[in-house]
Amino acid sequence: MKHIISMLMENEAGALSRVSGLFSARGYNIHALTVAPTEDDSLSRLTLVTSGTAQEVEQIVKHLNRLVDVVKVLDLTEGSHIERELMLIKLSATGDLREEYKRLADIFRGDIIDVTTTTYTIQMVGQSKKLDAFIDALDSGLILETVRSGTVGVLRGEKCLHV
């Protein structure tokens, strides 16, 4: 099963490589990983998507907690949460396709954010599944480039991940 693991870590050089190194050393999967500073300069927020049995994911969380630079770890998928991913997708868009892509982007609530005579770049935000569905709706031969941010997420309601 897919798990979204979110953590706060010290904003120190090498902290990211400690996390990624742990995953490669112990043979755990990383499907996506995203990291950026928070409103507190001393902390970074890292979100990663992994998969495994409940026992494996429990072990992953324990090992992440053991890293000295990691302050707090939370498996978002254990509770009610919101997840989002950003995608930029560049399409070859000529002739009738231009109108078709415009309609399709509207249906998926995407925005065309760059236009040339032969291409569209569409920005789309949503759960990863929705972005997958959009890609599936396109002729893959006409996709020029896909960039995805990886999933980020927060707990629903007043619960927070904080120090």
Partner 1 sequence: MEMTGAQILVNYLEDEGVEHIWGYPGGAVLPIYDALDTDAKKVSHILVRHEQAAVHAADGYARSTGKPGVVLVTSGPGATNAVTGIATAYMDSIPLVCITGQVATSLIGLDAFQEIDTTGITRPIVKHNFLVKNVDDLAITLKKAFYLATTGRPGPVVVDIPKDVQTAKSNYAFPQEVEMRSYLPVTKGHSGQIKKAVEMMLSAKRPILYTGGGVILGDASAELTELTHKLGFPITQTLMGLGAFPASDKQSVGMLGMHGTYEANLSMHHSDLIIAIGARFDDRVTGNLEKFCPDAKIIHVDIDPASISKNVLVDIPIVGPVKQVVTEMLANLEKTKLKSDEKALAAWWAQIEEWRATECLRYDTMGAKIKPQAAVEAVWKATKGDAYVSSDVGQHQMFAAQYYPFDKPRRWLNSGGLGTMGFGLPAAMGAALAFPDEIIVCVTGEGSIQMNIQELSTCLQYGFAIKIICLNNGFLGMVRQWQEFFYERRYSMSYMESLPDFVKLAESYGHVGVRIDNPKTMTAQLDEVFSEKYKDRLVFVDIITDQQENVYPMIPAGAGLNEMILV
CA distances from 61 to 40, 68, 76, 107 (A): 23, 13, 11, 38
Phi, psi of 65 (to 5 degrees): -60, -30
Q: Does 162 bind partner 1 (CB under 8 A)?
A: no
6-14, 27-35, 75-83, 131-139 -> range binding partner 1 (CB under 8 A): 6-14
Q: From residue 58 to residue 97, what is the string marking binding to partner 1 with x (rule CB under 8 A)?
A: xx--xx-xx-xxxx--------------------------
Least separation in angstroms between CB 155 and partner 1: 21
Verify binding: residue 14, partner 1, rule CB under 8 A: yes
Cite the beta strand spans of the chain per DSSP E: 2-10, 32-37, 43-51, 70-75, 81-92, 111-115, 119-126, 143-148, 152-155
**What is the C-alpha separation between 14 and 56, in angstroms, rounded?**
25
Q: How far is the CB of 10 from partner 1 (least distance, A)?
A: 6
Contact residues for partner 1, defined by CB under 8 A: 9-10, 13-14, 17-18, 21, 25, 55, 58-59, 62-63, 65-66, 68-71, 163
